[in-house]
Amino acid sequence: MKNEKRRYLINFSTQSLASSETDFLIVGSGIAGLRAAIGLSEHGRVKVLTKDKTEECNSYLAQGGIAAAIGENDNIRYHVEDTLKTGVGLCSEAAVSLLVKEGPRQIADFLKFGANFDMTTDNRIALTREGAHTRDRIVHAHGDAIGLELEITLIKKAKSLPNIHFAEGIYLVDILTDDNCACGAIVFDPSIQKCRVIYSKAVILATGGIGYLFQSTTNSHIATGDGVAIARRAGAEITDMEFIQFHPTTLYLDNAPRFLISEAVRGEGAYLLNANGERFMTGVHEMADLAPRDIVSREILKQIDKTSHPCVYLDITHRDADFLKARFPKIYSNCLRYGIDITTTPIPVKPSAHYMIGGIKSGLDGETNVDGLYVCGESACTYVHGANRLASNSLLECVVFGNRAANAAAAYVKGKTAKKISAGCDYKFYKEPKGFSIKIHGERIINEIRRCSWENLGIVRCAEGFSAVERFVEKYDFIKRLELSTLRSFSLANMLDVVEVINRFCLERKESRGTHFRSDYPAVDDADFKFHLVEKNGKLSRLKV
């Protein structure tokens, strides 16, 4: 199968695998997947697959908040303008308008579901500001735990609905298709080390991002880009994969994970200092420390290079200690665990991979070019973020488009029955090379992937780095021709696939725009590159804005 495209990761026959059936199959239990599940619950049986535990997802880790134009001095137009400006010319105005207009209603729905947002003394929703926002419009909970609150609220709601069933620890291997129509999935159950089939009338991918492809990331270990790789094999269009957001401020200590220091800290007055104790953002951007994330991240790297010091510092010691403990309890306790008291000591920070802006190309209702396949949340790309995402628009995107994908999928399946197709494949796989075993060497290769991505596909990129990625992918190309049968081998194959795709997109865009910055092409080039890159079945095309 050296020159044969691998449609499925495994050899199988649907007739020989155990099978079950549902009306709607949702992959992912983050905020987008849960919102979709709740929306679909009145339309049929809903099965939600989770790669790990239900609460193990990037949504759970979100700190800052969810953006919504509900403040007295705010309106839809201001929020739209901030989003478009941050997206550097590549946002879909239709998607942005829809996102922002539906925001207030989604906040109201969460209140109905029982969410506990932080409130003012006069019982109004408390709002704060984050990077590139011109108004206070960030709704938060428990100070700095919005993701936890939204996730728990949605899980509680979903588990109260009899039509929603969760399957924890079940891994999506591939989407079953017939004549460009999604009709279910092949899944792997690690507890019994076997695959089985789930037939469904529609499939909704809410598989999250790709942060774990990078050595330094705010993301959970499950964020390996599976959804992108799986949808790509199924024939779905992939787009804008060169745009990956790096969060400027994550805790930088040798003995600590790259814990996110929310942008809301800067929204409450924190400022960045270099190793010499100098503020450096005031002369860089009109919004200074609250500039868009890509600008702040690149400037931090410049300061690190300038001072030959491994990080910069985020200082909020000028604020009242009791206020900080109440406003940022999670950040305060986590930093204190590693010896940093944020009320008295500036926080050592450095950028980390945070958010996939590109992904599986979808319309405003989550639809893809594969019939019956929908996508929402971080794994989707509706062009709502353009070349750079506005802070706290991500959770809003999850609930707005998760709900819209549910409505569209419900309409699609009316009058349909699940297609129990007879399908399979019988590739002639190669044996593992002498001295190599995925079981033994797989984890090492995953670490190499993460290091290679961080060094060559990170905040600052160039053609030389892209060549290094090409050589790396070629080195491990033989893995695509091996028989895969374990969770680690599936993840490894998907990670290699997604890294190759990201690299190809980066190489094609010979300019710098938003989160995609090339030192060999450092300027925005509207004349030649104001378009979206779209890949389908291995071929790249350009979609003009």
The span from the CA of 183 to the CA of 200, in Å, is 5
Q: Which residues of 64-81 are buried (b: 16+ CB within 10 A; e: fewer)?
A: bbbbbbbbeebeeebbbe
Distance CA 270, CA 261 (A): 11
Distance CA 183, CA 185 (A): 7
Q: How many CB atoms lie within 10 A of CB 435?
A: 7
* H/E segment holding residue 128: strand 127-128
Using CA atoms, how far apart are residues 411 and 279, in angstroms rounded to an integer? 54
* Catalytic status, residue 135: no
φ, ψ (nearest 5 deg) of residue 36: -65, -40
* Contact indicator for 130, 247 with CB cutoff of 8 Å: no
Identify the DSSP state of 430: B
Phi and psi at residue 35, in whole multiples of 5°?
A: -65, -40
Could you tell me the end-to-end alpha-carbon distance of the chain, in angstroms, rounded to an integer? 39
For 11, 59, 100, the CA distances from 422, given in Å and listed in that order, are 14, 36, 44
- Strand ranges, E, within 169-298: 171-177, 182-189, 194-205, 238-239, 244-251, 271-273
Instruction: Evaluate whether 342 touches 333 at the Cβ level (below 8 Å).
Output: no
Which residue of the set 129, 196, 233, 293 is catalytic?
293
Helix or strand run (H / E) with residue 297: helix 293-307
Catalytic residues: 293
